[in-house]
Amino acid sequence: MPYVNIKITREGATTEQKAQLIEGVTNLLRDTLGKNPATTVVVIDEVDTDNWGIGGESVTLRRKKGQ
């Protein structure tokens, strides 16, 4: 019954990609620790780039500077 929270910037992850993340991390926990997929919870949070900072700057600003 693991709980996994994946936070990414809101930059166009598709439904299909998010499904792959859910399946992939559930299988990883099954294969690595024998965890039961039926009670493995995965939550993906997509965060606006204004609200995500790295290097002391928002990702919005970094994208404008080509980073």
Which residues are near a second copy by CB under 8 A? 1-9, 13, 15, 17-29, 32-33, 35, 37-47, 50-61
Q: How many residues does the chain have?
A: 67
55 or 66: CB nearest a second copy? 55
Q: How far is the CB of 66 from a second copy (least distance, A)?
A: 15
For residue 2, indicate whether it is catalytic.
Answer: yes
5 or 66: CB nearest a second copy? 5
Amino acid, res. 47: V
Tokens 């080509």 correspond to what residue? Answer: 66
Beta bridge partners of 67: none
Query: What Å distances lie between residue 55 and 48, 51, 62, CA to CA?
Result: 17, 13, 9
Residues involved in catalysis: 2
